[in-house]
Structure 1
């Protein structure tokens, strides 16, 4: 009789515990490591492939809620390899975009599925956190109702605390790992591949102002469209019109200068380009004035120094050819009297700039 009772009791316990054992606790934090001084996402590097497989499985399980915005993917990028905090934040942003691009391509997600933050310090990695709601069994729900347990807000705080503790433990473990740049650099990885996965950092529009022009009382504004990380199309325009001493003195000018640039290097800071310039001028600083048309072009080169996330300083110099058809004139009783004309050719510096660049989006 005792054996029968023990058997029945064991079966009852088994039926109660089976639903609890069948519930799988989903992984909520995934860490992807990056080679120091590199922003490429090497999937086979340092276990990233296994971590990506786990993340894809979790995303597939909750795909509908993720796409509906109910379960966001929190992406945090980290970097300590830069020379300054701004460099670290810029590198962390690119790394976050690499991981997001991988998920967008593999899982069909969108940018709206992510909540992204970037940080300077701690390590060279990207974490993806998924806050999956816990599903309680019917027995647990009855217990919570009877015991009057804490509210949903308190439960959410507990989940976030556990996840933060897990991330902190992973960060401490990451600080003990020494990663060498030569540890894994696949042969097929090229600059072109990096550009194609640059994410939202690629296609930007910036407002430009050449401070050298403004210093000569010549307002100058321009726009640059980065159609990819390596290529940019920009145009600058200048205009001014001054006269004094009853219009006996004159300084007037307008110019338009379109340009195509090719950005070089890992950080895409150095560049070379080709420019074209056209405009008209009217100068009279002494007895004889000169007015006419100018036309030319050449090659440009320079460097963009990042100041903040949105501001940069662009130092540029252009060398090439300019043609100016000039008409000389004198002012007699307030009337311009033509005194001759000439054509001038110039080969050498044709443009210089110390330009403030403001990234609009």
Structure 2
């Protein structure tokens, strides 16, 4: 009999038009309300029944639109379950609670919400329904948004105008200060005659005439070095340098002796003619015995030279020079036995690399 009454009641509900206020999520302050119907004496949520499917689709769409705000707690979701078909209030509340949980399960599974998003209320009266209300805060109206946009545009325009005025005032002030400074400078120049002092011309590094030079690096090794340079034009010069030394010690068991002659041609460059390039030829002889074995022979070679002249005054200058090329040496090796040099063989060597280095003091004679 109970099942028959339940079936008749369900058929009667199908004949009744759908009722209840529903919405897809209005922008006003009134809550969006969704109503789901249940069969009397039954707590199952029949979704395709009596419009529940369409109502659930609208609810899920509203949740999707406001999911972030709902999860943050800014938009509350109220769930109200009702049941009045049971014989006692306690049974009605139990069925209403189950119905509310079934609707919340759909929102959790299909809408991505959590239990913390819901505020649940169950009643033992009012039919066999579950009502969901989503309270969406009221936003500004279109007229209010337009007014805010216009106010922001006016404020930005006023700010830009103020910046332009400030920039124009700054430029005008700078122009006035510049004009005042120019007028003051003109008045001062008018009162005080300008005395022009011509700076003395910088001395040329390569003056015409004859130079005497001494390589200070050679002198530092106790090797006297002197040379002359004849400037045949304002760019070209011919020179020759020579070195000679002879030292012995340890009862003549140690010896350091050499002589060299090095002719050179140079071309001076630049407006002041300070830098130069040239070619050098070198010939000489040596006798070194700084250990048990001595070496005595001849050297011959040459290479390219370059340097820079640093004037120290009208007639004095420093000449920094370097030469790269090849030196060929033929020499004999010997030992001193009982004061007599005993030949130990001969060798020939070729050296590629630096063949000259100098820091020379130059004195222009005339």
Q: Pick the TM interval, shorter chain.
A: 0.3 to 0.5
Compare CA radii of gyration and give the structure with the larger one.
Answer: 2
Q: TM-score, normalised by structure 1?
A: 0.46
Q: TM-score, normalised by structure 2?
A: 0.45
